[in-house]
Amino acid sequence: LRPIYKQIAENQNAEIFSANTLLVILGTSLLTARAGLSMALGAFLAGLLLAETEFSLQVESDIAPYRGLLLGLFFMTVGMSIDPKLLVSNFPVIAGTLALLLGGKTILVAVVGKLFGISIISAIRVGLLLAPGGEFAFVAFGEAVNQGIMSSQLSSLLFLVVGISMALTPWLAAGGQLIASRFELHDVRSLLPVESETDDLQDHIIICGFGRVGQIIAQLLSERLIPFVALDVSKIRSK
């Protein structure tokens, strides 16, 4: 895709750029449908392909007006697929699976984060943020049912578990914030990774402000292996 997008960028035509993005998404979706897979999986693969190009930020900017609407439609569809009767009749199983999913992912991510030098408080917070299931689970479960790998009843139960876990994301994030505000100030070791990362920097760039523009600049510098230090008044953004 890179040569195609480079050629389009040289023409400086925003309409052709957006049309080509839609062509990639729809074309990949149709190809996966022809191969017997779901169109949603094709759209996911198209997103991976577009993310690998250096024009991913422009693509993200082009689809930004539609992202909120499509996400809302997606979650409405997920909500309509949830059967309240199934939740009531299988509540112990669903509650146990949900606890296993959230607890297991939180512990796993926290352990991995600690191994990579993150403070234990920050590692737990990241674990809580990543604990819920992802949107791709719905695509994977639906495809598993279509291929006869998973029964429709099991798929419905897992849909409930993932959907409820995603609905709990704001409370999990708030819990992580509460833990950080209570204990991170007393965890002096949380500062060590930052100090160790900046000790050996030479000829680096300093980014003042780490909002949306600062993050884009940081991503471009990272892709070109240029060292940088970002400063921001917000403790959350600077992390």
Task: Choose between 103 and 232: higher pLDDT.
Answer: 103
Residue 197's pLDDT band (cuts 50, 70, 90): low
Joined tokens for residue 209: 């402000």
Distance CA 61, CA 57 (A): 6
How high is the pLDDT of residue 95? 92
Q: Give the side-chain half-sphere CA count within 13 A for 199.
A: 7
Query: Which pLDDT tens digit goes with each residue over 33-74?
Result: 888 777 777 888 888 888 888 888 788 887 777 777 877 777
218 vs 213: CA distance, rounded Å: 9
Closest CA to 97 of 163, 161, 160, 167: 161
Residues 6+ apart with CB under 8 A from 233: none
Task: Kindly tell me the burial class for residue 106, based on how many C-beta atoms sit within 10 Å of its own C-beta (0-12, 13-18, 19 or more).
Answer: buried
Which sign does the torsion angle of CA 158, 159, 162, 164 carry?
negative
Above 90 in pLDDT, residue 96?
yes
Which of 109, 84, 62, 239 has its CA nearest to residue 160?
84
pTM above 0.75, yes or no: no
Which stretches of the chain are DSSP H helices? 2-11, 14-34, 39-51, 56-81, 84-89, 91-115, 120-130, 136-146, 152-167, 169-183, 192-199, 212-223, 235-238
For position 190, what pLDDT does the model report?
47
**Is residue 193 very low, low, confident or very high in pLDDT (cuts 50, 70, 90)?**
very low
pLDDT at residue 116 above 70? yes
Question: 2 pLDDT exceeds 90?
Answer: no
pLDDT at 19: 86
All residues at 6 or more sequence positions from 214 whose CB lies less than 8 Å from its CB, including other chains: 207, 208, 230, 232
**Strand, coil or helix: what is 206?**
strand
pLDDT tier at 99, thresholds 50, 70, 90: very high
pLDDT score for 234:
63
Q: Is the model's pLDDT at 232 over the cut of 80?
A: no
- pLDDT averaged over every residue in the chain: 80
On the question of pLDDT at 229 being above 60, the answer is: yes
Confidence of residue 238 (pLDDT cuts 50, 70, 90): low
- What pLDDT was estimated at residue 107? 93
